[in-house]
Amino acid sequence: GGAVRPEAVFKMLLITFDTRFIKEAEGYSFGGGSVVEGAPIKTFPGRLYLACRAILILRGLCSALGMDVSVVRLWEEVAFAVIEQELGRPPREIYAEISEQPVAAASLGQVYRGRLKTGEEVAIKVQRPGIGESIAVDMLLLRRLMGVVDRNIPQISQPLVPLVDEFAGRLFAELDYVMEGHNCEKFQKLYGSVPRVRTPRIMWPYTARRVLTMEWIEGVKLTNKEAMAAANLDVIDFVNVGIECTLRQLLDHGYFHADPHPGNLLATASGDLVWLDFGMMSEAPQYARYAIMAHVVHLVNRDYDAMCKDYYVLEFMDRSVDTSPIAPALAAFFDDVLDQSVSQLNFKAIVDGLGDVLFQFPFRVPAYYALILRSLTVLEGLALQADPNYKLLAQAYPYMAGRLLTDPAPELRSSFEDLIIKDGALRWSRLENLLNESAKSSAFDAAKLWLLAEWLLTPNAAGVRGLLVNELARMVDAWAASDVRDRLSLRLGSRAVAERLVPVQPMEAEARDRASVVLGAVSSRLGQGTPLALQGSGPWGMATPADVDTLMTQMQSIALRTWPKLETLMTKPGAADLMNDVAAQLARRFTARAIKFVFGAQQQLAAAVPLGGAALLPPAMPGREGSF
């Protein structure tokens, strides 16, 4: 305990500083020369630099910080004495069986396999005696070391001593196995409903501050390629489960596993992903969770000014810092990156690129943010070992898309609006993408889309509802005009004449195709092939305002039969406004088309009569109405 143990330094730096600490150390110059280029080992900053480089190299050995047999183990007599001190009886009296040797060891303790007298197999985690005193000395020395860094390297904008204090608090909390047991149960309560996620059951009669007895779960570490292959278990499959669970931890409740190295994840033969070691947990505040999702939306929209403002909410920057110079730097990096689809984006490349941009400015990384990035990076690293082409964001985006569609929180509704609206118009492609992507997530509940429908009828969504009215009217108008054009072509024998009588409007083809998709979906839902029909009672089957009212009534009736829940929605004031506004817009559009049609027909007749072509435009046949 008289010297700082390397693993303690490494773990603390990895969790709190990560590459930011190293990046700034690389840029430090001392005595007229660069730390990198000069003779650094003769100076304190140089030695610090080399130490940081060594830590970076050790990143691949992070599994040694978890349960791993490579750590020097306790003598059985010592470990069993701890059990007796904590539980009041010798281990042989408490457990029906207990292994002579530990099955795993770590810097804070080690694990034995045993069996209760009631028959359950258990894992018995025993803390190293005196570890608290050793950690106290380690943290004191580390705190003094970081104090020297704070005083002598001004290039590191974030004070390091507070980070040491925060880390020390987390580490001391990790020594309380009773708290760890409660953490495990809280994790199970919050995330146990996630498909294929599992945690060990805590055996409370056999648990104390330095002894934790829990259910033994047979499993394979995700890093053990040979064992995974022998058990016919797919690493990618389990990583995808881990990613969804991690996203729920961050974005649903903000309570998450803060030490998610590969040794704490097991794959079972039944397909469950088991989370272990709940000594170090962390929480992300609600405002930060919403800000993260807003930040993703702003990134997708390339709204770099809004991204800069997000850094205030995320507490990356103090509000006294002018973030406007950051926007051009973000644009320079992300404009090229975002030319790819979301499914092709590389998570690590984005994190590294964002880090390179922010390193140029005075910023800090909140502990919760660094920890969750580390968690996702660990999972992506596991997947990349199995599949070099794996893309983490392709797995993460469906969950976020589902949250944007179904979460009623005002902050996320605002992000939803930002995503689907641009320059006063709805971006249907974005909405369709959200629906398609969200369906890929096991967490997506399509029934919750009614929450989105309810929101659209509230005063807060008046802006979106107005745009939706315009789009619905445009779709029905385009569909109806196309139908009239087709019938006129057949009756007149001329497509060109039909298009002069019913001109094609800009973007009409897109609106018509979208209307066809929607009507097809409704017909499929009804289990029949009969499409909605707008009966045109005017000349040549043209629709009148009365026909529009009939269509709206027909649509409402079908909708209520198809989705009974609409009956409740239709009682809301916004629903009546929506239907009335759509009907009014359709009436205006059809009236305008009817006027153009009449004038077009007169011009066509005038041009056709000298050629004996008056018969080209006969009046509507008595008793016959066109299906518009």
Max CA separation in the chain (angstroms): 116
Unique residue bearing structure tokens 């803390």: 127
Which residues have a Cβ under 8 Å from the Cβ of 95 and sit 6 or more positions away? 114, 115, 116, 117, 122, 124, 206
Task: Find out whether 52 and 46 touch, Cβ atoms under 8 Å.
Answer: no
Which residues have a Cβ under 8 Å from the Cβ of 295 and sit 6 or more positions away? 307, 310, 314
Which residues have a Cβ under 8 Å from the Cβ of 114 and sit 6 or more positions away? 91, 95, 96, 97, 98, 99, 121, 122, 123, 124, 213, 216
Q: What is the CA radius of gyration of the chain?
A: 33
Catalytic residues: 259
In the Cβ-directed half-sphere of 570, how many Cα atoms lie within 13 Å?
14
Residue 235 has a CB neighbour count (10 Å cut-off) of 22
Cα–Cα distance between 387 and 613 in angstroms, integer?
A: 70
The phi, psi pair for 273, rounded to 5°, reads -105, 120
User: Strand, coil or helix: what is 310?
Assistant: helix
The phi, psi pair for 608, rounded to 5°, reads -90, -30
429 Rama class: left (phi>0) / alpha (psi -120 to 50) / beta: alpha
Strand 197-198 and strand 273-275: pairing? parallel
Bridge partners (DSSP) listed for residue 422: 425
Going by C-alpha positions, the residue among 123, 129, 131 that lies closest to residue 77 is 129
Cα–Cα distance between 578 and 504 in angstroms, integer?
A: 26
Cα–Cα distance between 369 and 48 in angstroms, integer?
A: 25
Amino acid identity of residue 463, one-letter, is: G
Task: Find out whether 106 and 71 touch, Cβ atoms under 8 Å.
Answer: yes
Which residues have a Cβ under 8 Å from the Cβ of 561 and sit 6 or more positions away? 526
Cα–Cα distance between 522 and 533 in angstroms, integer?
A: 13
Cα–Cα distance between 35 and 424 in angstroms, integer?
A: 53
